Amino acid sequence: MNNSITFQKELLGVQDDLLRFAYKLTSDHEEANDLLQETSLKALDNEDKYAPDTNFKGWMYTIMRN
């Protein structure tokens, strides 16, 4: 399967977890949604920097935290 399609499926698969994490960081639903969107866009922009077969969720949490 195409790496880009796999990446997008991984990204979709962690959205709920990331939203919960964003809410823990912001304590505000609207800010959490904004943070999730910013994080997802940043991940898509940096897809080429993600090493396949590494911890995708951990990579996403790091992007969100930063």
Taking the model in full, what pTM does it have? 0.89
pLDDT at 1: 55
For residues 1 and 61, give the distance between their C-alpha atoms in angstroms, rounded to a whole number.
25
Amino acid at 18: L
Class of domain 3-65: mainly alpha
pLDDT at 62: 96
pLDDT tens per residue, range 14-64: 999 999 999 999 999 999 999 999 999 999 999 999 988 889 999 999 999
CA nearest to 38, candidates 26, 27, 55, 52: 26
Whether residue 45 contacts residue 7, with contact meaning beta carbons closer than 8 Å, is answered with no
Which pairs count as long-range contacts for 26-35, CB under 8 Å and 24+ apart, including other chains? Answer: 35/64
* pLDDT at residue 2 greater than cutoff 80: no
